[in-house]
Amino acid sequence: MGHPCTAGTTAALVIIRGNKLYVAHVGDSAVIMGVQRDADAPLETMTLTEDHKPEAPKERKRIEAHGGAVINKA
């Protein structure tokens, strides 16, 4: 278990309704879809989400743009 100031929450949700796929997630729980083109083909995987980790440049920029800060607690 992480230190209380660095522990976080993750969630991933996938809803299939008809021919539509809805994906929502928060944190670093990835959603990966497997596709098999035909019965004899190997399963192909496709990552549908990007992790929300503060050390990732894109996520850090998003946090800071909304008035937050990312600091190293180590």
Residue-wise pLDDT for 5-43, tens only, equals: 666 778 999 999 999 999 999 888 889 999 998 999 999
Instruction: Give every CB contact of residue 14 below 8 A, 6+ residues apart in sequence.
Output: 21, 22, 23, 31
Report the distance separating Cα 15 and Cα 24, nearest Å: 9
Enter the pTM of the model: 0.64
The amino acid sitting at 44 is E
The predicted structure's pLDDT at residue 55? 84
- 43-58 pLDDT per residue, tens: 999 999 988 888 889 9
